Chains A and B, each alone.
Chain A
Amino acid sequence: MRNPFRSEAEAYRLVWLTIGYFVLIVAGSLINVWLGFIVFVVETAVVLWLVFSRRSDEPPPPQVESARTREDERRILVVANETVGGRELLECIERKSAGVAEKVLVVCPALNSPLRHWVSDEDGARAAAQVRLDSSVASMRAMGIEATGQIGDGDPLQAIEDAVRTFSPDEVVVSTHPEGRSHWLERGVVERARERFHVPLTHVVVDLEAGDRSSSS
């Protein structure tokens, strides 16, 4: 949802939209009270629809062209949370890094409850994400991959958008739990990311439970 009081110009526009909104309601009410009520309901429904559907119409974020140090450099943006240290993900990154001068940025969204997010109590979520991130980046470096990491926004799409702006990736790798256990898949994060960002996107499924079973057996 976009803040209508983001700037003076937008607030000024809202003044005129408010006038238009109420002029129609008053005009309807002068003809018939119930007509005024219907106008109110219809207008309010339209406004709510416009407010909550606006995000999907947003254009993809502009990419910042950052200087590349080598001709064959390939920038890979990895977005993962609990699966960030998963075997399948590491293997995928290793495959993609073969034969190119890879530069991998691992972004770990700091998942948090909505209440904690809005009261800015994100320290716990970020600390947990940092632990996973450090472990994953260390694993990649041990495999000879040039990797860096950063904590991202709790919303994975926003985390991708932030990283796309600053990192200019050639491709994005999103790692999730398998279908049925993944909140991101349930929310359609992968599909929405493919629609929104004009960068090739690979979806890697990491089954941590299978990994635990095999390691324990």
Chain B
Amino acid sequence: MSAAAEAHGHGHGGEHPPPIHYSSRVSPAILGMFLFIASEVMLFGSFFTVYFFDRVVANPSEWPPPPFELPIFVAFVNTCILVTSSFTMHWATTAIKRGNRAGLQAGLVLTFMMGLTFLLTQAIEYHRLGFNTGDGAFASTFFGLTGLHGGHVFVGLSILFVMVIRSFRGHFTPDHHHGIEIAGIYWHFVDIMWIIVYVTVYLL
């Protein structure tokens, strides 16, 4: 053992953690992303379980049960906005990979603006719905599912906000844009979850 290594070992009383070992099968980054997705799937899955339980147990002739009505068209427009924001997010990532900093900034700003529009539209929709969380099981599950997703959009917007600032400060290069990549993955995940929520709650 070298003198430096020996000193290091003695300095911590020999209680430092063992060396990290992992194979190419499951790298820490991918394992972390898997665990994140698994936890999110379980979280949304629990809300969907409640929603479908309510729907099956109540078993009304029409859904949503009268007198509730959902603004399907407004939600469709909101869905289009969110899907488009995924496109601009991908544009931003592609732009920085090619060294196009203006494209990155424009893509991130557009994504942020569309995400904000989605969230504000949802807030206005909540205000105009005419029912609230305490108005029965349907209302509770509706607000629970869409609200849970809205919370995720808010987190995504917070991440995007930081990324926008960092992009204007020149923190990202074609070789170093890990933050953009991670933000993009999260944003697309939020988008996918909304598509599932929209189809199951509003359309089916």
Instruction: Write the residues of chain A forming the contact surface with B, with a CB cutoff of 8 angstroms.
Output: 3, 5-9, 11-12, 14-15, 18-19, 22, 25-26, 29, 36, 118, 120, 122-123, 126, 151-155, 158-159, 161-162, 165
Kindly identify which residue among A3, A14, A25 contacts B188, using a CB–CB cutoff of 8 Å.
A14
Which B residues are CB-close (under 8 A) to A5?
33, 37, 185, 188-189
A137–B129 alpha-carbon span in the complex (Å): 73
Which A residues are CB-close (under 8 A) to B89?
8, 12
A-B contact pairs, 15 of them (CB 8 A): A3-B30, A5-B189, A6-B30, A8-B89, A8-B188, A9-B93, A11-B184, A14-B188, A14-B192, A15-B83, A15-B188, A15-B192, A118-B31, A122-B21, A126-B21
| Smallest Cβ-Cβ distance to A33: which chain B residue | B204
Instruction: Write the residues of chain B forming the contact surface with A, with a CB cutoff of 8 angstroms.
Output: 18, 21-25, 30-31, 33-34, 37, 83, 86, 89-90, 93, 180-181, 184-185, 188-189, 191-192, 195-196, 199, 203-204
A198–B86 alpha-carbon span in the complex (Å): 41
Which B residues are CB-close (under 8 A) to A154?
23
The number of residue pairs between A and B whose CB atoms lie closer than 8 Å in the complex comes to 76
Do A152 and B23 contact each other (CB < 8 Å), given the known contacts A8-B181, A12-B89, A15-B188? yes
State the main secondary structure of chain A at its contact with B.
helix
CB distance from B178 to the nearest CB of A (A): 10
Which B residues are CB-close (under 8 A) to A155?
25
Do A25 and B199 contact each other (CB < 8 Å), given the known contacts A8-B93, A122-B21, A158-B24? yes
Contact B90 A9 (CB under 8 A): yes
Do A123 and B18 contact each other (CB < 8 Å), given the known contacts A3-B33, A152-B23, A161-B24? yes
Which A residues are CB-close (under 8 A) to B181?
7-8
A153–B203 alpha-carbon span in the complex (Å): 46
Contact A11 B189 (CB under 8 A): yes
Which A residues are CB-close (under 8 A) to B90?
8-9, 12
Which B residues are CB-close (under 8 A) to A7?
181, 185
Which A residues are CB-close (under 8 A) to B22?
120
Do A8 and B180 contact each other (CB < 8 Å), given the known contacts A15-B188, A19-B195? yes
Do A151 and B21 contact each other (CB < 8 Å), given the known contacts A8-B180, A26-B199? yes
Do A22 and B199 contact each other (CB < 8 Å), given the known contacts A6-B30, A15-B192, A36-B204? yes
| Smallest Cβ-Cβ distance to A122: which chain B residue | B21
A182–B76 alpha-carbon span in the complex (Å): 57
A141–B178 alpha-carbon span in the complex (Å): 46
A8–B172 alpha-carbon span in the complex (Å): 15
Closest 10 CB pairs of A and B: A8-B184, A153-B23, A11-B188, A12-B90, A22-B199, A11-B185, A158-B25, A8-B93, A18-B192, A8-B181
